[in-house]
Amino acid sequence: MHFRICVLFVMATLIIPVVVPAAEKIMTPESLPGVTIVDTATVKEWLDEGDDFIILDARKASDYDVGHLPGAELATVPSDLNISDEAVAKSLSALEEADVIQDLEKDTKLVIYCNGAT
């Protein structure tokens, strides 16, 4: 249970967008504790090779309906543009309700993506 909460917390920190000036590019962090950050080329390679992993799309349902990665499950989180304790708690709660992550094994690959403005 502790591991699952830690994983959910890390996922929430990846999903909660950070407000930056429009002129700046939103950068993916180089590292996060307990997380392996992969680029789109790696995910495409995993898809092409048929690797076994779970994909969560954290965007709004309307964005998901327009298009999503093959096999991606919709796991929308609240769209608070801040990283307050309340926003993190809401995101964790939303992720805990995603059926696809229930009972995951520790070594399960889990890819989460969003558009940065979920």
Backbone φ, ψ for residue 2 (5° rounding): -60, -40
With pLDDT > 90 as the criterion, what percentage of the chain qualifies? 10
For 97, the 3-state DSSP assignment is coil
End-to-end Cα separation, the chain, in angstroms: 27
Average pLDDT over residues 1-11: 51
pLDDT of 20: 39
pLDDT of 95: 64
Q: Read off the pLDDT of residues 41-88 as tens digits, 9 standing for 90 and up.
A: 999 999 999 988 888 888 888 999 999 988 898 887 666 555 555 665
Confidence of residue 21 (pLDDT cuts 50, 70, 90): very low
The answer to whether the beta carbons of residues 15 and 71 sit under 8 Å apart is no
Statement: the pTM of the whole predicted model exceeds 0.75: no
pLDDT of 112: 83
